[in-house]
């Protein structure tokens, strides 16, 4: 029996840097009635508030919701109000090395970026995020810049050589997330194991970057049942299938979910 559904954010619950739409909000409310839900992604807490928390119906069961910003290096739970349970921040020296290495990797990659919207490198305390077109780039520009991750993979290969002691992951539509060694989404999932007392076999992870080098892949690597989706529309169908399986039998298996998805 599944007890926890874990979602990536950008590209999974919503388009990059945009809020969840009304249909997704209603589906998440329905899911929160019957299961625990976690959202884990590279954005910081403010991004989760804007994109997810503030868009949920007021009567949603928030006690069943946990938020893990910056790839799980922070953890927020709800008990009458949102509280940060932990944060694993980078040191000043670690940040300086990452910033320097990013600039060096960009120079070595010889990628031509004609226009940016806002800062490219963001300090999220527990994570440094590089956004190729800037933090405020229009979605239509981001979507076409690196749809197959080829450009960012080139930068990642250089970073892996320059800073092998850090975790470098591709995420979103134009971003690269850098954290302390060993800290990725598997780190956040381990925190869920400890704090929520839920086994891996009782979890499902849903994300759009479940492939080697993608920032959702660590969830699959550690053994969590994973559903690879292409966009928020597919996520909606997956949520509908999960709710239907729970309503049918209270015995949700990966086979059951795939069968429901196939019928939609």
Question: For the segment 19-34, what is each residue's pLDDT rounded down to a tens digit?
Answer: 999 999 999 999 999 9
Confidence check: pLDDT of 198 > 50: yes
Angle between helices 92-109 and 150-162 (to 10 degrees): 130
- The segment(s) of the chain belonging to CATH 3.40.50.1000 are 4-88+183-262
User: Which pLDDT score is estimated for 48?
Assistant: 96
For the entire predicted model, the pTM comes to 0.77
User: Does domain 4-88+183-262 fall into CATH 3.30.465.10?
Assistant: no
The 3-state DSSP composition of the chain as helix, strand, coil percent (nearest 5) reads 45, 20, 35
First vs last C-alpha separation in the chain: 22
User: Which pLDDT score is estimated for 229?
Assistant: 95
Among 50-59, 155-164, 210-219, 227-236, the minimum mean pLDDT is found in: 210-219
R_g (Cα) of the chain, nearest Å: 18
- Coil, helix or strand at residue 226: strand
Q: Read off the pLDDT band of 259 (50, 70, 90).
A: low
Q: Read off the pLDDT band of 264 (50, 70, 90).
A: very low
Which of 52, 67, 7, 36 is closest to 228 using CA atoms?
7
What lies within 8 Å, CB to CB, of 26 at 6+ separation is 57
User: Which pLDDT score is estimated for 209?
Assistant: 87
Confidence check: pLDDT of 251 > 60: no
CB contact at 8 A, 9 and 43? yes
User: Does domain 96-179 fall into CATH 3.30.1240.20?
Assistant: yes
Measure the CA–CA gap between 233 and 224, rounded to whole angstroms.
22
- The segment(s) of the chain belonging to CATH 3.30.1240.20 are 96-179
Mean pLDDT of all residues in 1-5: 91
Measure the CA–CA gap between 87 and 35, rounded to whole angstroms.
25
Confidence check: pLDDT of 157 > 90: yes
Instruction: Please report, rounded to a whole number, the percentage of residues in the chain having pLDDT higher than 90.
Output: 71
User: Which pLDDT score is estimated for 263?
Assistant: 52
Residues 71-120 have pLDDT tens digits of: 788 999 999 999 999 888 999 999 999 999 999 999 999 988 989 999 99
On average, the pLDDT of the chain sits at 90
Taking CA atoms, 191 is separated from 28, 81, 108, in Å, by 22, 20, 36
Among 119-128, 146-155, 180-189, 223-232, the minimum mean pLDDT is found in: 180-189
Confidence check: pLDDT of 252 > 60: no
Confidence check: pLDDT of 254 > 80: no
User: Which pLDDT score is estimated for 214?
Assistant: 81
Neighbouring C-beta atoms of residue 145, cutoff 10 Å: 15
User: Which pLDDT score is estimated for 249?
Assistant: 55
Confidence check: pLDDT of 131 > 90: yes
Mean pLDDT of all residues in 146-175: 92
Confidence check: pLDDT of 171 > 80: no
């Amino acid at each position: 029996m599944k007890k926890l559904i874990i979602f990536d954010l950008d590209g999974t619950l919503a388009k990059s840097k945009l809020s969840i739409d009304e249909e997704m909000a209603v589906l998440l409310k329905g899911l929160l009635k019957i299961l625990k839900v976690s959202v884990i992604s590279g954005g910081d807490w403010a991004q989760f508030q804007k994109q997810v928390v503030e868009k949920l119906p007021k009567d949603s069961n928030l006690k069943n919701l946990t938020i893990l910003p910056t790839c799980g290096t922070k953890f927020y739970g709800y008990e009458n109000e949102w509280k940060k349970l932990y944060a694993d921040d980078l040191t000043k020296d670690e940040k300086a090395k990452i910033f320097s290495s990013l600039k060096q990797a960009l120079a070595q990659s010889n990628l031509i970026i004609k226009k940016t919207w806002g800062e490219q490198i963001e300090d999220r305390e527990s994570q440094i995020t590089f956004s190729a077109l800037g933090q405020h780039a229009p979605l239509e520009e981001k979507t076409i810049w690196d749809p197959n991750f080829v450009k960012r993979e080139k930068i990642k290969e250089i970073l892996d050589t320059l800073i092998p002691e850090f975790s470098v992951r591709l995420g979103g539509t134009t971003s690269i997330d850098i954290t302390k060694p060993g800290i990725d989404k598997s780190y956040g999932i381990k925190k869920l194991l400890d704090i929520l007392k839920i086994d891996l076999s009782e979890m499902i992870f849903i994300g759009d970057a479940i492939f080697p080098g993608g920032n959702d892949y660590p969830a699959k690597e550690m053994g969590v049942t994973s559903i690879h989706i292409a966009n928020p529309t597919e996520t909606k169908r997956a949520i509908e299938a999960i709710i239907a399986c729970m309503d049918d039998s209270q015995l949700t298996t990966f086979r059951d979910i795939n069968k429901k998805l196939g019928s939609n």
